[in-house]
Every structure is written in C-alpha cells, then in structure tokens.
Amino acid sequence: MQPQDAARDGKRAQVVKAHVAFVVTEDWFFASHFLPMARAAVAAGHPVSVVTRVRAHRDAIAATGARVVALEAERSSLNPMAAGYAAGQLAAILKALKADIVHCIALRGILVGGAAAMLAGIPSRVYALTGLGLIGARQDRAGRLARTGLRLLIRGPLETARTRYLFENPDDARLLGLDPAGPRVTVVGGAGIDPEAWEPAPLPPGPPLRIALTARMLWSKGVDTAVEAARRAEGQGASLELGLYGAPDPSNRRAIPESTLRDWSRDGVVWHGSTGDVAGALARAHVACLPSRGGEGLPRALLEAAASGRAILTTDVPGCRTLVRDGIEGLVVPPDDPAALAAAMVRLAADPALVARMGAAARARIVEGGFTEAAVTDEVLRLYAELA
C-alpha cells in the first residue's frame, strides 16, 4: 500500500457521522413510538442524544445506545414565556452536545426544538409532525386561525434551507402548505411497527362480536362515540361487547375523567383501565375501533390492530384514513357520528366472514404497504444522509 493510500484510509476511518439530537417532550412517548428509530441511527454509526422530560423511561431509551438528556418542559403548557425559557435551555444543551441534526418530534417539539436550533445556529433539522392534536381536529374559526399561525411560524422563522419534513399522513403536509410529494417532504407509515412482534392470533369464537378500543382515554379519540355507538348497535339487536383499554393522560387537557369511564362500564361496555398487554387485548377481540375526532398523525393503536390481523372501525380523518381503506381493511365512518358507527358495528356483527377477510387485509397492508419499522427507519436514515 502506498503512503497516500494509507493516509486516505486513515481519514476514512476517522469519519464520524452526524450527531443526531432528538427533541421530544415526554420520555414515555419516545419509548412507546421511537426506540427503533434511535436504535437504527445508532446502528448506522450516528452519535444519538434524546432530549426529553425524563420520568420512568430513561433506561429503555438508553438501552438503544442513545444518550438521554433531561429537559423539563410541560407538554400541556401553552405559555409562550415557558416555551421561550425551554427553548433557551434547549439551545444551550444542543450547543454542548455539538449536535449536527436536530430531529424534533411532535408539534411542541417542533416549536421549542426549532427555536432552540435557531438560537444554537444549527440549520439541519427534521420536523416530524405526529399530528396536530386539538388544533387539527377543530373545524371552527379558532382552529383555522391556529393552523394558519402554525404554518406561518414553522414555514417562516423556524425553517431553513436544510429543514426536512417528516409526516405520518399527506393531509398534514398540505396543512403546512407543502406538497406531500415534494423534495423536502417524506411521508412515512407512522412510527412503523414490527410485524413479527404482532403475529395474528386466531379469531375468538362468537357471538358476541368483541370490539377493542386501545388508546389513551381522551375525548379526542372518540371514546364516547364508541360507547354511544355500541349502545345503539345493541338496541338494534346486535350481539357485541366493547372493551376500553387505556388510561386518561393527566398531562392532556382532553382526558376523560375516571368517574365517567367507570359510569360507562355497564351493559356490554367494560373499561379495563391501563394495560401492558395490548396484544392480548387484541387477540381476545374480533375488531379494533378508534373513532378519532382528528388531529392524529397515524395512530399506533391502528398499526398494532392491523398487524394483529384485526378488522378496524375508524373515522374519515387524517392518519386513520391513510391506513384503513373503507371496505378493505375495515369500515370508515364520519367522525362524531355514533349512528354511522353503530351501523358499521351491526354490519360486522352479522358477517363473521367479512370480519376475517378485513383482518387478513389489514395484516397484508402493514407488511406490504410501507408501515413496518424497517420501512420507516430506512426513510429516516436516508434523510440523515442527505442532511449530512
């Protein structure tokens, strides 16, 4: 080997990939959705840090090989002064980390993380919008004004020539005035899911038709719509049971009170509380239900249900309709319409063969449609390579 060749190889060996700093408000949210993303980035040679409010999930995040950095910022707070203070703290953290790419997750993560990246002078940013929450669901004037304000802010002072956008459905890209097929936009299958970890179980015997709603117990998830629809469907002669699996989120202003959930638990509706065994809940069900009112990115609950081979009842809102095609993987009804949802429940209760066909189609949709962890992480690593 010539001396110049050895020197060139030595330089190659010293190349360090871009340091990626994830910014996300809650450690539980990162742990439940984005561990595969961190794991893939570490495996690809990127130094990775996760800046978040640390509670009970530090070890799970650190196990990916990422460094966990604590940042106290209340997710539910809309106080601009609090957000500005958090952005200042975060800017100092990003500078100390010498981050090359700031990957901001969810709306508040984008607003605080984008401002911090601007203060820290880091132009390479990934804005991963995981839904617009209540702002996306509201169709009144206040909702429209809020969306306009967000678009002007994110696409204005928080945007650089090296900003890339990661969406979980094409509708959210359009809300920010972006072309879903544009060069700066990547639309992925949510956070992705590992189909091997969600093998379909045989459908349980019936009747009754067992329906599982696995989600945080929030008004925005349409839990009340599901309860009302189940009551109506039973009144129309359908034999069914609705199981609610999940707990209210104390940091979310749309949490359903536990007293209300307990009151709903009668006559074929059961609130099971929080569960650490979503796969088991789905295995005991024929159908999964998420009658969201909107504001979703692409709900993980639907990814889990589809990977488990369960037919899905959901609503015609961004994210939900991205995965579930009406009449194929399940039935899609208008949001806030318990009568339409009840009719869909009655239809499935009367047709077990249709339930089985839709469940098989849902599983195929995950495996073949770009909704796996591998498909999503490949797209994210491509973005990092482009920005580096």
Q: Please state, in angstroms and rounded to a whole number, the distance separating the CA atoms of residues 214 and 244.
A: 6
**Residue 327, domain CATH:** 3.40.50.2000
Percentage of the residues of the chain whose pLDDT score is greater than 90: 84
* pLDDT of 1 over the 90 cut: no
Residue with tokens 């390479």: 124
Give the pLDDT score at 348: 98
- Is residue 42 domain-resident? yes
Is residue 9 in some structural domain?
no
Cα–Cα separations (whole angstroms), residue 16 to 39, 95, 322, 365? 17, 18, 37, 37
Residue 10: pLDDT above 80? no
Q: How far is Cα 230 from Cα 118, in angstroms, rounded to an integer?
A: 49
Assess whether 71 and 188 both reside in one domain. Answer: yes
Do 188 and 299 sit in the same domain of this protein?
no
Identify whether residues 360 and 383 lie together within a single domain: no
The three-state secondary structure class of 287 is strand
Residues 131 and 259 occupy one common structural domain: no
Looking at the fold, whether 25 and 115 belong to one and the same domain comes out as yes
Which pLDDT score, from 0 to 100, does residue 113 have?
96
The predicted model scores a pTM of 0.90
The answer on 258 and 141 residing in a single domain is: no
Per-residue tokens: 154: 């994110």
User: pLDDT per residue over 86-97, tens digit each?
Assistant: 999 999 999 999
Bond prior to 3 in cis (omega within 30° of 0):
no
pLDDT score of 7 more than 60: no
Lowest mean pLDDT among 138-152, 239-253, 266-280, 310-324: 138-152
* 161 and 238 assigned to the same domain: no
**Strand ranges for the chain from DSSP E:** 20-26, 48-53, 67-70, 101-105, 125-129, 163-167, 185-187, 209-214, 240-245, 269-273, 287-290, 311-315, 330-333
Specify whether the CB–CB gap between 83 and 77 falls below 8 A.
Answer: yes
- Residues 6 or more apart from 151 whose CB is under 8 A from it? 175, 176, 177
Q: Do 90 and 222 belong to one domain?
A: no
At 374, the pLDDT band (50, 70, 90 cuts) reads very high
- Hey, what amino acid is at 86? A
pLDDT (mean) for 246-269: 91
One domain for residues 267 and 380: no
Q: Confidence class of residue 354 from pLDDT cuts 50, 70 and 90?
A: very high
Q: Is residue 12 scored above 50 in pLDDT?
A: no
Give residue 13's pLDDT: 44
Query: What mean pLDDT, rounded, does the chain reach?
Result: 93
Give the per-residue pLDDT at 199: 93
Same domain, 204 and 346: yes
Q: For residue 180, what are its two tokens?
A: 């879903």
Q: Which two tokens stand for residue 147?
A: 């969306």
Q: What is the DSSP string of 198-231?
A: SPPPPPPP-SSEEEEEES--BGGGTHHHHHHHHH
What domain range includes position 70? 16-192+372-387
Q: Considering the domain boundaries, does residue 2 fall inside one?
A: no
248 in the same domain as 112: no
- Contact (Cβ atoms closer than 8 angstroms) between residue 272 and residue 245: yes
Question: What are 134-181's pLDDT values in tens digits?
Answer: 677 677 788 788 888 889 999 999 999 999 999 999 999 999 999 999
Is 7 inside any structural domain?
Answer: no
The stretch 231-244 carries a mean pLDDT of: 98
Residue 379 banded pLDDT, cuts 50, 70, 90: very high
Distances (CA, A) of 8 to 16, 18, 52, 143, 171: 15, 20, 39, 57, 47
Element (H, E) at 305: helix 300-307
Work out the burial of residue 54: count CB atoms within 10 Å of its CB; fewer than 13 is exposed, 13-18 middle, 19 or more buried.
Answer: middle
Residue 201 pLDDT greater than 50, yes or no: yes
Instruction: Kindly state whether residue 171 falls inside one of the protein's structural domains.
Output: yes
The predicted structure's pLDDT at residue 4: 53
Peptide bond into 338 cis (omega under 30): no
DSSP codes joined into one string, 32-96: HHTHHHHHHHHHTT--EEEEEE-SS-HHHHHTTTPEEEE----TT---HHHHHHHHHHHHHHHHH
**How far is CA 331 from its chain centroid?**
21
Domains in the chain, number: 2
Q: Would 129 be classed as within a structural domain?
A: yes
**Residue 261 φ then ψ, to 5°:** -65, -40
377 and 363 belong to one structural domain: no
Per-residue pLDDT at 11:
46
Measuring CA to CA, which residue among 272, 348, 275 is closest to residue 311? 348
- Alpha-helical (H) ranges within 256-299 are 258-264, 278-283
Maximum distance among all Cα pairs of the chain, rounded to whole angstroms: 85
Section 231-241 average pLDDT: 97
Has residue 336 been placed in a domain? yes
Residue 11 lies in a domain: no
